[in-house]
Amino acid sequence: MVPGNIEPLVTERLVLRPLSGSDEAAIHSYRSDPAATRYLSHDPLTVEENRERLTELLALCRASTGTWFNYGWGITLRESGELVGDARTWNSTGMAATGLLAPGTHPAGHAALAYVLHPDHHHRGYGREAAAALVKWLVTQCGISTVVAAVYEPNSRSIRLLQSLGFRPDSTLPADQATAGKGFPLLTFRLDSPHRSSD
């Protein structure tokens, strides 16, 4: 069960908090950067595209319930509060006609994780620190038994990050079937919590 009020997650160097509309400019500073979006599902975003994306994500956050959720997280530096990236945790990807989130494609007890950092803050371990905190939150606070993450095959740094947290390869989608149009095979990794029940 997802908590009704999402509290910030505090790590050694970071604070992960719910995204807000005031994060728009900071998010655009890296989601408009080809170095940051090379292995994301979208190309560099314009100001308007970034605003629309954030507005949609905030609507999904507000519509989230204890059963279906889609949360955006700001990855901020604990000392300064600077937003250096963002992340998502979700088990639903769309809004139902009722205004609530529709069931997603993930089986019960499964949720997905995604993350991106500003290129200026790469190579400092922030991605691993943030991902580890979100995995722990999904398992301990939301009762998730399996966390999945999708990575384009050339993104070796992200693959190593996931593997360092215990994720293992689960499936591969050939480049010609990966609908985002980046031209790379899409690899899915999974992490089964030690307390999950047998399939």
Q: Indicate whether 117 pLDDT > 80.
A: yes
| pLDDT of the residue at 192 | 96
- pLDDT exceeding 90 applies to what percent of the chain? 77
Least confident of 50-59, 74-83, 103-112: 103-112
| Whether the model pTM is above 0.85 | yes
Burial 85-120 (b: 16+ CB within 10 A, else e): bbbbbbbbeeeeeeeebeebebeebbbbbbbbbbee
pLDDT, tens only, 24-38: 999 999 999 999 999
Domain boundaries defined on the chain: 9-145
pLDDT, tens only, 140-186: 999 999 999 999 999 999 999 999 999 999 999 999 888 776 899 99
Q: What is the CATH number that goes with domain 9-145? A: 3.40.630.30
- pLDDT exceeding 70 applies to what percent of the chain? 89
Asked if residues 30 and 36 have their Cβ atoms less than 8 Å apart, the reply is yes
| pLDDT of the residue at 198 | 39
Helix, strand or coil for residue 182?
A: coil
Asked if residues 62 and 54 have their Cβ atoms less than 8 Å apart, the reply is no
Q: What's the pLDDT band for 2 if we cut at 50, 70, 90?
A: low
